[in-house]
Amino acid sequence: MNKKRTVTIVDIAEAAAVSIATVSNVLNRRNVPIAEETIRKVEKAAEALGYRRNAMAANLSRRKSNELGLIVPGFIGYYGRFAEEMERTAHQHGYHLSVYSAGGFDSEVEKRHLDALLQRRVDGLFCHGLAMSPDTTRKIVGEGTPLVLFNGWNWPQDIAVGAVNLDFSEGCVEAVRHLYDQGCRSLFYLSSGRAHAINEQRVIGFNKGLIELEASVISEIIELGLHEVHSIVRMTQEISGGSKPIGILAFDDLVALRFMSAVVEQGYRVPLDYKIVGINNDSVSSDCYPQLTTLDIPYNQQAQLMIALMLRQLGEAIEPSDCDSKSGGVILPKLDDEHEVKIPLTLIPRMSTSL
């Protein structure tokens, strides 16, 4: 039996009537200008010839895997949606993204992730600030793997290329101002201890917002884990001294909805007695009644900025003259003095704060 000859990119180039370089650019999904018709011709020729790209050989020859790693604390809520957005964005630029969950901050899971990432020789790593410890990620960086953080505050600057952080602090400042403008003179932040660094940014913003009001208001930060949600309703009534409406900024939309349910169960009205703001703009925030005012997260923008930082580190993007410059359709971010790119959040007013 004759052994079937391996199809090469030379064969594809001849079949598609294009150059070998063009075939290589299409098959490797390089971010270079190529007409859609040319891409279709190359892909059709490759499929017709039965071409199967030898990814391992290609990686060894250029010492590049075209694979990136992403580590998130879990897959629920924001993390799952963001992982999907990162997968799409990485694919657009010719990279495969391997996604790992931190597994509840288990040290053994951390070690397995580290081993897997080193074995797979990923070209770059994205890590949420709560997903792995600085010491663990430093081992990966020590192997020469560039790291881009997201929502990672106060990390040592020698570990990461940079951090792309959602500006929860300024978002909370805007939320406080919105509640005040809606007539709230008693303002409460429902705090969560389960995500310390992220919660800390919200607390900073809440306190900053109170200062910027330059007005006398009753305010309190209430730790959710220390109190049952129905008792928190009673606490806010007592602390506010009967002042209405009471303004509530919650750690996220789910906390806001839990609190809003407790408020309604105890006979109070939203937004007449309570005005409530959540964070994240989860789908439930617009599906519930009354619809929840919330801070929207620009998933696509955060993913694009992170990929742009990584591409620049991998030598696939041109250094911009300013933060609005573009290369190949990717916005190239400019890091500030704190090694950080801040992404603003947008307040979406809904029925939970206004009729």
Same domain, 138 and 159: yes
Same domain, 272 and 159: no
pLDDT for res 31: 58
Same domain, 176 and 261: yes
351 domain-assigned: no
Same domain, 113 and 230: no
Same domain, 214 and 254: yes
3 domain-assigned: no
349 domain-assigned: no
Residue by residue, what is the 3-state secondary structure of the chain?
A: CCCCCCCCHHHHHHHHCCCHHHHHHHHCCCCCCCCHHHHHHHHHHHHHHCCCCCHHHHHHHHCCCCEEEEEECCCCCHHHHHHHHHHHHHHHCCCEEEEEECCCCCHHHHHHHHHHHHHHCCCEEEEECCCCCHHHHHHHHHCCCCEEEECCCCCCCCCCCEEEEECHHHHHHHHHHHHHHCCCCEEEEEECCCCHHHHHHHHHHHHHHHHHHCCCCEEEEEEHHHCCHHHHHHHHHHHHCCCCCEEEEECCHHHHHHHHHHHHHCCCCCCCCEEEEEEECCCHHHHCCCCCEEEECCHHHHHHHHHHHHHHHCCCCCCCCCCCCEECCEECCCCCCCCEEEECCEEECCCCCCC
147 domain-assigned: yes
Same domain, 18 and 117: no
111 domain-assigned: yes
Same domain, 46 and 131: no
| Whether the Cβ atoms of residue 79 and residue 128 lie closer than 8 Å to each other | yes
pLDDT for res 130: 81
Same domain, 80 and 138: yes
Same domain, 283 and 237: yes
Q: Which domain holds residue 280?
A: 168-297
Q: What is the domain count for the chain?
A: 3
- The pTM of the full predicted model, rounded to 2 decimals, is 0.77
Q: Per residue of the chain (355 residues), what is the pLDDT tens digit?
A: 444 566 777 888 899 998 877 887 787 666 567 888 888 888 888 888 877 654 444 444 445 678 899 989 888 888 999 999 999 999 988 899 989 887 655 667 766 777 777 676 788 889 988 887 777 777 777 767 888 999 988 887 778 888 999 999 999 999 999 999 999 999 999 998 776 889 999 999 999 999 999 899 999 999 988 789 999 999 999 999 988 999 999 999 999 999 999 999 999 999 999 999 999 999 999 999 999 999 999 999 999 999 988 988 887 754 443 344 444 445 566 666 668 899 999 999 999 999 7
Q: Which residues contact 335 (CB under 8 A, 6 or more apart)?
A: 162, 341
Going by C-alpha positions, the residue among 297, 252, 243 that lies closest to residue 276 is: 252
pLDDT for res 267: 96
138 domain-assigned: yes
pLDDT for res 82: 94
106 domain-assigned: yes
Same domain, 101 and 124: yes
Same domain, 181 and 293: yes
pLDDT for res 30: 60
